[in-house]
């Protein structure tokens, strides 16, 4: 199957700093990528839809200025958590759409811990 | 708006016994339903999906799911559980069959198979 990578896999940062998470489709082009946040009690929440070359579409309740999404190429989307706080600590997962196979593939996730 | 409910936080089954993980959905229009599995510290893996056709869908690792329109359910089943099936299982729904559409996830059910 297709491979989607995320970098870093784990990051610890101080409160007030910004953290960038990368999502890459390794063997296909992805015009659409999705960012999810997984809370400690397991539920997976869709944060935003990232479209290559255009602005991301955010779900209701997600602060676009806090979670900056850039989808600058067909294989890369980035999520930047700005001015991170401890409550932003979570597991962030991306998925990428393979338009040829019409399937979404998920990355392995990034564990963010804000001290 | 679409939503999906997984009423059980945890399901415990003895190895060799059949297992069922429950899921009900709510969507306007035709539902497109998915099951994903997540192993510890890893991303989501696709198990199966229902788009149209036969109500019984067969997927990876011997899993299957039955679509029941009248009960708005899409329960995941396996005739004989393995210890290696222990993981977190997510039911998901989309309002469109295209992979470009966002997928909404349930809260997850932790499946524990005892030897």
Distance CA B82, CA B75 (A): 18
Does residue B37 carry a pLDDT above 80? yes
Asked if the C-beta of A113 comes within 8 angstroms of chain B's C-beta atoms, the answer is: no
Give mean pLDDT, residues A42-48.
86
> Tell me, what's the pLDDT at B98?
67
Inter-chain contact A44–B90, Cβ cutoff 8 Å? yes
Residue A102: per-residue pLDDT: 75
Chain-wide mean pLDDT for chain B?
91
What average pLDDT does range B63-91 have in this prediction? 96
Q: Is the pLDDT of residue B17 over 80?
A: yes
Cis omega (within 30 of 0) for bond into A8: yes
d(CA A21, CA A69): 10
Q: Which residue has the higher pLDDT, B77 or A30?
A: B77
Segment among A3-12, A38-47, A53-62 with least mean pLDDT: A38-47
Strands B10-14 and B109-114: parallel
Please tell me the distance from the alpha carbon of residue B35 to that of residue B93, in angstroms, as a whole number.
9
Query: Helix, strand or coil for residue A84?
Result: coil
Give the closest of A6, A44, A109 to B105, CB-based.
A44
Tell me the nearest-neighbour CA distance from B104 into chain A, angstroms.
Answer: 7
- Would you place residue B1 in the very low, low, confident or very high pLDDT band (cuts 50, 70, 90)? confident
| Average pLDDT of the residues of chain A | 91
CB contact under 8 Å between A106 and B43, yes or no, is yes
Confidence of residue B94 (pLDDT cuts 50, 70, 90): confident
Kindly state the average pLDDT of the residues B59-81.
96
Interface contact flag, B99 A44, Cβ < 8 Å: no
Report d(CA A64, CA A48) in Å as an integer.
9
Chain A residues closer than 8 Å to B90 by CB: 44
* pLDDT band (50, 70, 90) for residue A24: very high
Among the partner-chain residues A1, A34, A42, the one whose CB lies closest to the CB of B108 is A42
Output the pLDDT for position B99: 61
Q: Among B43, B98, B108, whose Cβ lies nearest the Cβ of A93?
A: B43
Question: Would you state the pLDDT for residue A35?
Answer: 95
A15 vs B104, residue with greater confidence: A15
pLDDT for res A82: 97
Q: What is the mean pLDDT of residues A17-23?
A: 97
Residues in A 37-96 with any Cβ partner in B closer than 8 A: 41-46, 49, 93, 95
Q: What is the pLDDT of residue A42?
A: 67
């Amino acid at each position: 199957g297709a491979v989607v990578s995320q970098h870093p896999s784990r990051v610890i940062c101080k409160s007030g700093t910004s953290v960038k998470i990368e999502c890459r489709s390794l063997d296909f082009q992805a015009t659409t990528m999705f960012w999810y946040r997984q809370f400690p009690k397991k539920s997976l929440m869709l944060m935003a839809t990232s479209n290559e070359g255009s602005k991301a579409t955010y779900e209701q309740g997600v602060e676009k200025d806090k979670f900056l999404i850039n989808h600058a190429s067909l294989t890369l989307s980035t999520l930047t958590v700005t001015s991170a706080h401890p409550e932003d600590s979570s597991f962030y997962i991306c998925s990428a759409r393979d338009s040829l196979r019409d399937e979404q593939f998920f990355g392995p996730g990034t564990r963010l811990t804000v001290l | 708006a679409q939503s999906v409910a997984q009423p059980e936080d945890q399901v415990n089954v003895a190895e060799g016994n059949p297992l069922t993980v429950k899921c009900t959905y709510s969507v306007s229009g035709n539902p497109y339903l998915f099951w994903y599995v997540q192993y510890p510290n890893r991303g989501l893996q696709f198990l199966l999906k229902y788009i149209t056709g036969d109500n019984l869908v067969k997927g990876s690792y011997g899993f299957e799911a039955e679509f029941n329109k009248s009960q708005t359910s899409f329960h995941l089943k396996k005739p004989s559980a393995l210890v290696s099936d222990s993981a977190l299982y997510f039911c998901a729904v989309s309002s469109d069959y295209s992979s470009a559409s966002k997928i909404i996830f349930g809260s997850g059910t932790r499946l524990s198979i005892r030897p």
